[in-house]
Homo-oligomer: A and B are copies of this chain.
Amino acid sequence: MVKLVGHLGADREQIAAFAFEGDVLVVPAHVSTPHTLHALEDSVVHFLRSDDLLPKGRPAMGAGQLLDRILADLGRSRELSALLGRKSARERICGFLVEMEKRIGRRENGAVILDLPMSRREIGDHLGLTIETVSRQLTDLRERSAIATCGRSRIDILDPQGLRALAGSVD
């Protein structure tokens, strides 16, 4: 039996999964939470690189790329588990904003503009928080001038670096 551990720094750990005989465990790479594998008892583990899982000469958007994206999905899921298991409301909101910045942010003279297609409720349901807590955290960040808000769906990230620091990740 082995455990897959995500490291959040400062002795904070999130065990993403336990694996038993016969299980396949995907160790995420290229995520902001470093992961390591530890045996809890004598174990035999076979390692495969995801690169080696499928044929080399890849057709454009073939099975290989599909597998890559499935593994990316799994990586985000691990990241979410670490966030939900070990982070404060402040860190969750900042982590969420940082991820949204990476995925749908538009640069515009210094700031990064986010047009969020989801409501506060949906943000809360994603981060394991209530809408009130989401709202209060955004207010705090606004008062710290880390972000600015405009209407319901637009958030301008004024201090991306500060946000990353508040997100409490390692990277």
- CB within 8 Å of B: which residues of A? 1, 3, 5, 13-18, 20, 23-26, 40-41, 48, 53-54, 63, 66-67, 69-74, 76-78, 80-81, 84-86, 103-104, 117-118, 122, 125-128
Contacts and interface: CB of A to CB of B under 8 A. Distances in A.
Nearest to A41: B117
Copies in the complex: 2
Contacts of A117: 1, 40-41
Contacts of A127: 85
A104 B20 contact: yes
Contact of A74 (B18, B77, B125): B77
Contact of A17 (B20, B70, B76): B76
A26 B70 CA distance: 7
A84 B15 CA distance: 12
A77 to B, nearest CB: 4
B70 A74 contact: yes
Contacts of A76: 17
Contacts of A104: 20
A31 to B, nearest CB: 12
Contact of A53 (B63, B73, B122): B63
30 contacts: A1-B117, A1-B118, A3-B118, A3-B122, A13-B125, A14-B126, A15-B126, A17-B76, A20-B103, A20-B104, A23-B69, A23-B73, A24-B69, A24-B70, A24-B72, A24-B73, A26-B70, A40-B118, A53-B66, A67-B67, A73-B74, A74-B77, A77-B77, A77-B78, A80-B81, A84-B85, A84-B128, A85-B125, A85-B126, A86-B128
